Chains A and B, each alone.
Chain A
Amino acid sequence: MGRGGKSRRFWPWILAAGLSWIVGYPLTLTLFEALGLPGSPTLENLRAFAARPDEWLALWRSLWISGASVVLAAAIGVPLAFVFERLEFPGRSILGGLVALPVALPPLVGVLAFLFLYGESGFLTRSVQFLLGLETAPWRLRGAGAILLVHAYSMYVYFYLFTRAALTRLDPSMEEAAASLGAGKTVRLRRVILPLLRPALAGAALLTFMTSLSSFSAPYIFGGGFRVMTTQIVASKLNGETAAAQVETVVLALAAVAGLGALLAFDRRRVAVVGGVRGLAPRRRVLESRRSKLAATALGWALAIFLLLPHLTLTLVSFVPPHTWTIEALPPVLNLSNFAKLLSGGERLRPMANSAWMAMVATVGAVGLGLAAARSSIRVGGKLGTLLESLVALPWAIPGTVFAVALATAFSVNAPFAGRFILIGTPVILPLAYLVRSLPVTGRSAFAGLRQFDDSLEEAAASLGAGRWRTLRRVVLPMLRPALAAGAGLAFITALGDFVTSIVLYTYDTRPISIEILSNLRLQETGIAAAYGVVLMIASAMAFVVWSRKEATS
């Protein structure tokens, strides 16, 4: 619409300034301070970084762990997608949903569950030890292997979901055409199907690489001496080596941006799930012989149990009262005492209340900002529009640890004229961090919703006498609700289980559930830690279900 007052023309600029202040400014400040700016420019911090072999080692480990995670996740996720998309066997649709389960588990809770399952005194470890009659645990869940195990378990889902989506949209007539031209099975796979899946695979690879580059929970809990960049940064930060932490942060941010650029250049096409022809759903091959049916079903359920085992173990441990499970293979006592303690009020309830309100505030803020940015960006277009879109998307490429350090840098100084206030140590900083981290998710869903939105609906409302706010409230928002709800759900779950930014920015009064889990773990209160984990798991699942149902009904 061409009409509008002054406020409307300035609004996108105000928005861009506001977003720059919370997204771009902290990162820029961190870079500047690492270089000694604005006072005395120096390369001393960088030189100190370059001179320390442990820093280079951490960077190298971050990169190779991420690369290996991509390979492992693809090796599990892609074949699974083919199995569930191309074969028909009993239980296929239920199992197909279960396979996506690990994605809904907050990272720290996943790590916790792995610890209780495969850790030195884990459920499975003990069972094996007991069965074989061993003196010590048969394995140790430590170092690179442990990190890769967790990554493979939680990140194959990206490959699985992307590949399945792409396979569904693949026009079956293309494969038939190849077959009619004499191409055999392997040729079809290599020359037709895989090239068509390439955008989806590239998208999943990018997501996996970026996620594991910024992964913190697994290296923190299992890494021990095996430091990657994220744990290195937090260690420096907690040791009070601010300058070192800043340089490490800058290096990790550059690595993330370089990784993003390299992967995008590798696949020039826009990273997206393949958009082929919307044709018929591909026919699934029905397994007919009784033996293969049985085998598929058995394998399927074995897989499901393997995938559910962490969740089940976590739940089991949450019912074990403190100090009752020592050397037995199975816990001798099970009751609700851990949950009773959680609900006993006071300080035990505090982390849950904190996580709930902070995640809620962050989600509402991120949805509002994302929607405002998307609307302004689409309206004004041009360079300003692109700027708004980039600002909203930027935190996606930047690891959470980097943002945490950047926010800590920007908001630990009181300089109102430079736009810096002391927010560190206040209840504002964590919701702000969660909000910034959620912006890409809520922003992307708002952009997607608005791009599909038919402008003439807004014009119709205007021609019927509805003003700007009424049009927004009665027409735009109700129609965007499914898209916004999906984004909000994901944002809320992420914020609720956040560990990576919280560990840098929390105070005792604002500690979220994840921090409480960690401190209980340190106090050997495994039952309590597991109980908090179960609460987080259930809350995430509920948020997921509520939002996806809302999405289905509207």
Chain B
Amino acid sequence: MPFLETEGLGKSFGDTVVLREISLAVEEGETLVLLGPSGSGKTTLLRLIAGFETADRGEVLLKGRSVGRLAPAERNFGMVFQHYALFPHLSVGENVAFGLESRRVGARAVRDRVERALAQVDLAGLADRRIDAISGGQQQRVALARALAPEPEVLLLDEPLSNLDPELRERTRQELASTLARIGITTVWVTHEQEEAFDVGTRVALLHQGGLEQVGRPEDLYRRPATPFAAAFVGRASVLRGRLAGGETAQIEVSARDPVLLSVQAVGPAENGPVDVYVRPEAWEVVESARIGRSFSAEVLSRRFAGRENLVRLQLDSGTEVEVATERDLAPGEKVAIQVRADAARPVAFAVLRDEQ
């Protein structure tokens, strides 16, 4: 039995449907990331689980029992808010103790547990500080310590890193993920950043326009997108227009006579017809000589150095721009031939049926 479940959870604000029939299961100890662009309903879903919003339809189940009728205060779910929502009139220690006082723990036990919670996030000794006297990164950790101190069943994180500087964000992400893993708490983590989702999520649930697009391990979402939106949203990709011809082969019109044939994975119905082909940057390789029916000739537009490799923007003869990851140092203006690697085990090109009216 899953630890935490949502069953057909739906919510509208007035005439606007913000969530439609979301059914998800979170296993004990795992971190499920709710990923999606803004307006996808991910925060609403988190707030329904927390109890800050009431669902129009559906259920929230904890260990098989409905918690839908319980007030937020009765659910024993810890939450870290986007802007932390630390109480500015209380000290660091008093903030962490707040949730313990509600639980009728003795004064001494409260002190011990506050110390332990602060130590857990590496803030031992800061209990007497004022909230505005500590840094943004420390505030983030106080918010985590406060949520964890009452030992909640589930931890809910609403874009917990969005309020931090970019340099701090990646380090905090690692620390946060390892703290959660060490405690082994069941976590639901909302973010709109894909890299963050892939980094911290045991599994990722992709939301779009209030609906659930795909749930799976990060590599599943990247390599086997289940929907056109998943193919387009997850990972970087260039889009080529072509026709699907016979299951796993797409023809891309380069010139009237010689289409390039690509082996692709169909997302959604594999009907022959016009398709958009999504190609990941690492799927391209730069080849020495052009091969008819296999490679594209292209001109380098710009190059961006990204550490291990270069990300190069090229323009195909058809005018389409593509992004290619390569170790070669290509200079703008250079003419090259590029082609898509064929790799059945790790599909890197996806064909999505195009609606043509």
Contact = CB atoms under 8 A, between A and B. Distances in A.
A195 B348 CA distance: 63
Contact of B81 (A456, A467, A470, A475): A456
B102 A554 contact: no
Interface in A1-22: 1-3
Contact of A464 (B52, B53, B89, B102): B102
Nearest to A481: B89
A465 interface: yes
Contact of B102 (A1, A465, A479): A465
Contacts of B103: 465
B89 A460 contact: no
A456 B159 CA distance: 13
Interface stretch (B68-76, B175-183, B329-337): B68-76
Contacts of B86: 460
Contact of A456 (B76, B83, B102, B146): B83
Interface string A437-480: 00000000000000000101101111111110010001100110
Contacts of B78: 463-464
A554 B77 CA distance: 31
B238 interface: no
Interface string B79-91: 1011101111100
B150 interface: yes
Contact of A459 (B72, B75, B88, B98): B72
Interface string B194-236: 0000000000000000000000000000000000000000000
Nearest to A465: B102
B257 to A, nearest CB: 62
A466 B102 CA distance: 6
B352 interface: no
B109 to A, nearest CB: 15
A125 B53 CA distance: 71
A479 B89 contact: yes
Contacts of B88: 479
B51 interface: yes
Interface residues of A, number: 21
Contacts of B102: 464-467, 470
Contacts of B89: 478-479, 554
Nearest to A554: B89
A463 B49 CA distance: 11
Given A470-B102, A474-B98, A454 B73 contact: no
A454 B150 contact: no
B206 to A, nearest CB: 25
Contacts of B51: 3, 462
Contact of B71 (A462, A474, A479): A462
Contacts of A474: 87, 98
B54 A463 contact: no
Please report whether the interface of chain A is mostly helix, strand, loop or mixed according to DSSP. Answer: helix
B242 interface: no
A470 to B, nearest CB: 7
Contacts of B73: 461-467
B187 to A, nearest CB: 14
B54 A454 contact: no
B150 A3 contact: no
Given A463-B73, A465-B76, A1 B83 contact: no
A460 B51 CA distance: 12
Find the residue from B78, B98, B150 having the highest chain A CB count within 10 A: B98
Contact of B53 (A2, A454, A456, A466): A2
Interface string B7-43: 0000000000000000000000000000000000000
B147 interface: yes
Contacts of B99: 464-466
A138 B98 CA distance: 70
Nearest to A2: B54
Contacts of B188: none
Contacts of A470: 102
Interface in A471-525: 474-475, 478-479
A460 B88 CA distance: 12
Contacts of B83: 454, 456
B50 interface: yes
Nearest to A474: B98
Contact of B150 (A465, A467, A479, A554): A465
A463 B98 contact: no
Contacts of A3: 51, 54, 71-72
Find the residue from A1, A459, A465, A466 having the highest chain B CB count within 10 A: A465
Interface in B90-138: 98-99, 102-103
Contacts of A479: 87-89
Interface string B142-186: 000011001000001000000000000000000000000000000
B211 to A, nearest CB: 21
Contact of B72 (A454, A463, A478): A463
Nearest to B78: A463
A444 B148 CA distance: 38
A467 B54 CA distance: 17
B100 to A, nearest CB: 9
Given A3-B51, A463-B77, A464-B98, A456 B82 contact: yes
A267 B146 CA distance: 49
Contact of B85 (A1, A2, A456, A466): A456
Find the residue from A462, A464, A465, A466 having the highest chain B CB count within 10 A: A464
Interface string A513-554: 000000000000000000000000000000000000000001
Contacts of B74: 465
Contacts of A1: 52-53, 72
A462 B72 contact: yes
Contacts of B79: 459-460, 463
13 contacts: A3-B54, A459-B52, A460-B79, A460-B85, A460-B146, A463-B50, A463-B72, A465-B102, A466-B102, A474-B87, A474-B98, A475-B87, A479-B87
Interface of B: 50-54, 71-79, 81-83, 85-89, 98-99, 102-103, 146-147, 150, 156
Interface of A: 1-3, 454, 456-457, 459-467, 470, 474-475, 478-479, 554
Given A463-B73, A464-B147, A465-B73, 17 more contacts: A1-B53, A1-B72, A2-B52, A2-B54, A3-B54, A456-B81, A456-B83, A459-B50, A461-B73, A463-B50, A463-B78, A465-B76, A465-B103, A466-B99, A474-B87, A474-B98, A479-B87
10 smallest CB-CB distances across A and B, nearest first, come from A464-B99, A465-B102, A460-B85, A462-B72, A456-B85, A463-B79, A2-B54, A456-B81, A462-B73, A478-B89
